[in-house]
Structure 1
Amino acid sequence: MRILLIALLLSATALMADYSHQPIDQKLIDSKIKIIDIRTPNEWKTTGVVKGSLPIMFFDENGNYDMNGFLAELNTKVKKNERFALICNSGNRSKVLGTYLGKQLGYNVIDLDGGIQYAIAKKMPLEPYQPKK
């Protein structure tokens, strides 16, 4: 009975989890969905960030990451069942992380194709990066 209950809970989590990808557009921004920017602080400073996005670095400048640290900070910004979007520079990092978060950990993730470079090309609203104080 206990095994059946655990199996049902795992199945329910998998059914509620979702991973999708799409380019950023004004409709998505207007929806007020949380956009998590996983780039590095230097990248945020160079291009700015999508207006209203939440910067949480995943890969550092050397390609290293701290999954536990990232998840701890992510979980202060979004609830596990809350739909949110990930953005990086070109879409490569957000695809890797989004796939893992959605398919392995059960988050509801939208991977923003083309990243900030696509957002810049489409003239999406950006704002200067403001470091935490």
Structure 2
Amino acid sequence: MRALIALLAGLLLQLPAHAQVRDIDNAQLQQLIEQGVAVIDIRRADEWRQTGVVPGSRLLTFFQDRAYRVYDIPAWLGAVAREIPPEAPVVVICRTGNRTQAVADLLHRAGYRQVYNVRDGIVEWLREGRAVARVE
């Protein structure tokens, strides 16, 4: 995990700075969803199948395995841009909110002005009994 954070920190330093990422809880996430804000679930497919996902989430894996090896970052950012334009707000979610902190910063530095990190991830969403969509 330290190697991942160091890698992302190095990449982030090379990009222009923007406003900071905002951490949100599930009540705020629900409000943003109701406003039509896109949610990106960055977890792996096996994690989506295990827990389900927040309904309507865009499923864009950032890490290719449990060793937290990152996919090609420019390709991933391109996939995000095809789904969500940089001027639109975006929410990122993972299992517990740890992985999305760095990914949310990456999105900000790549030009996304309104990025929200679900600080407790899908684990807290499930603990609160909120609805999920199953992934096959």
What TM-score, normalized to structure 1? 0.79
Question: Does the Cα contact within 8 Å between 2:20 and 2:105 map onto a contact in 1?
Answer: no
Select the residue among 88, 95, 98 that pairs with 1:82: 88
1:19-43 deviation line (CA, Å, top 9, x unaligned): 2111122323222210000000000
Instruction: Tell me which residue corresponds to 1:22.
Output: 24
Is the alpha carbon distance of 1:111 and 1:97 closer, same or farther for their aligned partners in structure 2, counting shifts above 3 Å? same
Structure 1 residue runs of 4+, over 3 Å off? Answer: none
Question: Does the Cα contact within 8 Å between 2:21 and 2:116 map onto a contact in 1?
Answer: yes
Matched, 1:120 2:126: yes
Matched, 1:58 2:62: yes
- SS of aligned partner of 1:117: helix
Larger Rg: 1
Q: Gaps spanning 5+ residues in structure 1: where?
A: 1-10
Instruction: Tell me which residue corresponds to 1:31.
Output: 35
Identity %: 27
Instruction: Tell me which residue corresponds to 2:8.
Output: none
Structure with the larger strand share: 1
Question: Does the Cα contact within 8 Å between 2:43 and 2:94 map onto a contact in 1?
Answer: yes
Q: Would you say how many aligned residue pairs link Structure 1 and Structure 2?
A: 116
What TM-score, normalized to structure 2? 0.78
